[in-house]
């Protein structure tokens, strides 16, 4: 290496050193630009969030989810553009002719566009999904019969994590339906089965009082938005009458409230003597059937 350096003219050494310094400066400038743009996007996200809060009907939590999702996409796009620009400028400083490279990239991009139509479809679908605010990071959704919490939203894919911890990566172009369970507010629906002998009005009154008791407590008051709504007798089952009710909660907390309500309903029913039946079958032979004679054998004989 020393002999190689000594064989090079001094001007060449200076030129190479200057090129390397310029490349280093470009990389540092790109990194600084990424950091600055990220901070600008965060600051802009706060101002936009405040402006949206004055004119939107969504809650502050909903607006924060939406703003965080869009800000994350913008940060990734800006970082990718800066890295690509820094790479082209660095190659140019090192003596490479970047024009044929750019022209080739354009032709290659056109060819890839024809061959990767599904990729383009994914990106377009992801763009409109963000614009239409179909879901945000942190929402609990069902996508193509797969349910989970939205961990990341990219222009090409959406990442879900289900209750067992499994991560599902779904291309945006393959999304046929989105069911968002945490948009603005949520409901937990109860299907309470009681015995046929029970008075359904009395059962409904116990359910309503149980919900009011939960709503009055400080620990649950911030999660429950409205008193428990009794929808009425829903169906007659083989061994139970089903009464449907629901409670309105803040987004994403319906399961927590529902589990607590189920615990309290069981205790209140036990105190009130309301029977929660289990599946059973009664055999009835009719009046025309003859009684069955049972003869017991004497075990001593």
Listed residue (71, 73, 68, 65) closest to 184, CA to CA? 65
Q: What is the pTM of this model?
A: 0.58
Count CA within 13 A, CB hemisphere, residue 117: 2
Instruction: Indicate the helix (H) or strand (E) that contains 284.
Output: none
Q: What is the pLDDT of residue 23?
A: 76
Report the distance separating Cα 171 and Cα 123, nearest Å: 9
pLDDT tens for the chain, 301 residues long, are 455 445 545 555 556 667 777 778 878 888 888 888 877 877 776 665 555 555 455 556 666 666 676 677 677 777 777 787 777 777 777 766 666 665 655 555 555 555 556 777 777 787 778 777 788 888 899 998 899 999 888 878 899 999 899 999 999 888 888 899 888 889 999 999 999 999 999 999 999 999 999 999 888 988 999 999 999 999 998 889 999 999 999 988 899 999 999 999 999 999 999 998 876 666 666 665 566 666 766 656 5
- For 176, phi then psi, to 5°, come to -95, -30
C-beta contacts of 280-289 below 8 A and 24+ residues apart:
280/239, 281/238
Q: What is the pLDDT of residue 48?
A: 59
The answer to whether 178 touches 134, Cβ cutoff 8 Å, is yes
Percent helix / strand / coil, the chain, rounded to 5: 55, 15, 30
Report the distance separating Cα 265 and Cα 257, nearest Å: 12
Q: What is the pLDDT of residue 221?
A: 86
Contacts of 278 (CB under 8 A, 6+ apart): 239
Contacts of 230 (CB under 8 A, 6+ apart): 204, 207, 208, 243, 245
Q: What is the pLDDT of residue 168?
A: 94
Q: What is the pLDDT of residue 136?
A: 84
Report the distance separating Cα 244 and Cα 250, nearest Å: 20
The answer to whether 74 touches 154, Cβ cutoff 8 Å, is no
Structural domains present in the chain? 2-115 (1.10.287.1260), 140-180 (2.30.30.60), 186-272 (3.30.70.100)
Q: What is the pLDDT of residue 4?
A: 47
């Amino acid at each position: 290496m020393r002999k190689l350096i000594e064989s090079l003219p001094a001007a060449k050494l200076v030129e190479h050193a200057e090129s390397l310094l310029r490349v280093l400066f470009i990389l540092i400038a790109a990194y600084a630009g990424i950091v600055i743009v990220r901070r600008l996007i965060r600051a802009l996200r706060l101002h936009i969030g405040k402006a949206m809060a004055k004119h939107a009907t969504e809650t502050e939590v909903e607006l924060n989810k939406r703003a965080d999702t869009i800000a994350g996409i913008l940060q990734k796009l800006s970082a990718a553009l800066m890295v690509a620009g820094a790479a082209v400028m660095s190659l140019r400083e090192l003596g490479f002719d970047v024009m044929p490279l750019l022209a080739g990239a354009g032709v290659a991009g056109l060819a890839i566009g024809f061959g990767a139509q599904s990729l383009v479809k994914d990106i377009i679908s992801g763009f409109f999904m963000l614009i239409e605010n179909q879901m945000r990071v942190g929402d609990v959704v069902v996508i193509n019969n797969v349910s989970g919490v939205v961990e990341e939203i990219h222009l090409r894919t959406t990442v879900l994590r289900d209750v067992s911890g499994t991560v599902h990566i779904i291309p945006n172009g393959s999304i046929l339906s989105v069911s968002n369970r945490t948009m603005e507010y949520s409901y937990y629906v109860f299907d309470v089965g009681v015995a046929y002998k029970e008075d359904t009005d009395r059962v409904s009154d116990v359910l309503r009082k149980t919900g009011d008791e939960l709503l009055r407590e400080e620990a649950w008051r911030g999660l429950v938005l409205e008193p428990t709504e009794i929808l009425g007798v829903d169906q007659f089952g083989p061994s139970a009458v089903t009464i449907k009710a629901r409670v309105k909660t803040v987004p994403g907390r319906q399961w927590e409230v529902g589990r607590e309500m189920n615990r309290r309903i069981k205790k209140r029913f036990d105190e009130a003597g309301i029977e929660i039946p289990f599946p059973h079958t009664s055999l009835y032979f009719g009046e025309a059937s003859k009684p069955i004679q049972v003869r017991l054998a004497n075990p001593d004989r």
